[in-house]
Amino acid sequence: MARQGQYHFESMRIARGLAVAAGVFVTATVLLIPRLAEAGGFQSLGLAVGLCAVTLGLLFAAFDRAPDAGWLFEYETRRKFKAVCEQKRLTGTDSAGRTVYPRMSRLMGGHLAWNVRVHPLLGQSLADWERASDALQMALGVVGVRFSDNGDGTITMRAGYQRLAHRDFVPPPPEPVDDGQDWRERLASVVVGFTEMGRPYALPLLDSHVLIAGITGSGKGSVIWSLVLGLRTPMHAGVVRFWGFDGKRMELSIGRNIFGDRYASDPVGMVELLERAAAEMLERADGLAGKVRRFDPSVVHPLNVLVVDELAYLASMLPDRKLRERADTALSNILIFGRAIGYVVVGALQDPRKETLGFRDLFPTRVAMRLSKPMVDLVLGSGAHEAGALCDLIPSDASGKGVGFVLGEGSMQPECVRMTWCSDQAIADAAASLAPPPVRPRLAS
């Protein structure tokens, strides 16, 4: 049974079915009992008692289901939805001149946050519904309304902010590696969490750069480590290489072996490592020029993922001006040319303002975690908060850690995702599996 105050269309359907069945038996009981009484006899009496028992049982079940079925909640939601549709001209007329409303189905959630499938009328588009989001938000009494295209002629309307359940990272099962497999397809995106609908969410990786923004404690590390640990198979195969830039010396150091000699934490070391990556990238570009038009990951040309914790520090806050200029040049080159050659930047930062990250527009994929309202549009683009990226409403307690809104290249609709939690032990295990075997001393013969 659904939790008190949480409604599910299946519960509503069952409760309605029980109510209809109870009504049928009540009617049958009222009509048949007088005739059975006239007929008399133990058989008639037994039948009458049986009818009464079934009727009472169905009535009890229907009333027991009623609170969780949310009949009043569903009725009020549909009533307000229709009123807004009429005001915003989202209705039509049939051949008899009667008003036709878009249909709602699969209502799930509660008073603070819920979602429903909407069946638009012919000729309506997602943009038509997005223009009505403010009116729906006001009428329904929720903090925000978002729409997404289901790809089957229906759209999902999400009202309010829905808390997402915590999930631990589960290592992907070992996969066979063969020389002929398509690494480009497998590295196009990596599952890092789950959406509001409970579906796995794959973060775009190949041919992209990923920007992760959120205040301290929002769970940026969950995005980074879910991505890194989700690529253990291609790492072992030598098709993916990670570079670690660990300004805090805390986030990435626990998985030091994953980065090998491509790890730095001091300012000079990070800038030199960044310049090394930029030089290798340009060398690869020269080697591929005139031979291929598209980069395909392989053991010969692996995908390089540059993981930068505290990106703003490396980009604009280094204490030495010359170091800042060198870092800016190398990072700009990688962001401009890298994704076409197999060099991807995954950068995390707390402050997304222009003065701290002047090239944030070079990141096609962006993740906004808990942020103040003015910062949301800086990360995801103008109008993102109005479109439903309610980063300021993400709870500051454990239930909000790892929750973020993701906007991919070419997308106008932010999607809410709960990133999987990667424990220190899971990271240490992955790092240990990539460590070189210990060298045993040879005994003198």
pLDDT at 39 exceeding the cut of 80: no
**The predicted structure's pLDDT at residue 72:** 74
Per-residue pLDDT band for 172 (boundaries 50, 70, 90) equals confident
Per-residue pLDDT band for 8 (boundaries 50, 70, 90) equals low
What is the tens place of the pLDDT at every residue in 291-300? Answer: 888 899 999 9
Report CA-CA distances (Å) from 107 to 41, 78, 146.
Answer: 50, 10, 15
What is the mean pLDDT of the segment spanning 35-56? 63
What is the mean pLDDT of the segment spanning 90-115? 86
Q: Which residue has the tokens 């992955």?
A: 430
Reference 48, options 64, 33, 30; nearest CA is 33
What is the tens place of the pLDDT at every residue in 69-92? Answer: 566 788 888 899 999 999 999 999
Q: Which residue has the tokens 């690869």?
A: 284
Per-residue pLDDT band for 11 (boundaries 50, 70, 90) equals low
What is the mean pLDDT of the segment spanning 265-273? 95
Instruction: Give the whole-angstrom CA distance, residue 305 versus residue 413.
Output: 26
Q: Please give the residue that has the higher pLDDT: either 78 or 180.
A: 78
What is the tens place of the pLDDT at every residue in 229-252? Answer: 999 889 988 999 999 999 888 889
**The predicted structure's pLDDT at residue 445:** 41
In the chain, % of residues over pLDDT 70: 80
pLDDT at 68 exceeding the cut of 60: no
What is the tens place of the pLDDT at every residue in 142-158? Answer: 877 888 888 899 999 88
What is the mean pLDDT of the segment spanning 112-122? 89
Q: Please give the residue that has the higher pLDDT: either 355 or 328.
A: 328
**The predicted structure's pLDDT at residue 45:** 57
Per-residue pLDDT band for 63 (boundaries 50, 70, 90) equals low
What is the tens place of the pLDDT at every residue in 373-385? Answer: 889 998 998 888 8
3-state SS string for the chain: CCCCCEEEHHHHHHHHHHHHHHHHHHHHHHHHHHHHHHHCCHHHHHHHHHHHHHHHHHHHHHHHHHHHHCHHHHHHHHHHHHHHHHHCCCCEECCCCCEECCEEEEEEEECCCEEEEEECCCCCCHHHHHCCHHHHHHHHCCCCEEEEECCCCCEEEEECCCCCCCCECCCCCCCCCCCCCCHHHHHCEEEEEEECCCCEEEEECCCCCEEEECCCCCCHHHHHHHHHHCCHHHHHCCCEEEEEEECCCCCCHHHHHHHCCCEECCHHHHHHHHHHHHHHHHHHHHHHCCCCCCCCCCCCCCEEEEEEECHHHHHHCCCCHHHHHHHHHHHHHHHHHHHHCCEEEEEEECCCCCCCCCCHHHCCEEEECCCCHHHHHHHHCCCCCCCCCCHHHCCCCHHHCCEEEEECCCCCCCEEEEECECCHHHHHHHHHHCCCCCCCCCCCC
Q: Rounded to two decimals, what is the model's pTM?
A: 0.76
Q: Please give the residue that has the higher pLDDT: either 40 or 331.
A: 331
Mean pLDDT of all residues in the chain? 84
In the chain, % of residues over pLDDT 90: 44
Per-residue pLDDT band for 263 (boundaries 50, 70, 90) equals very high
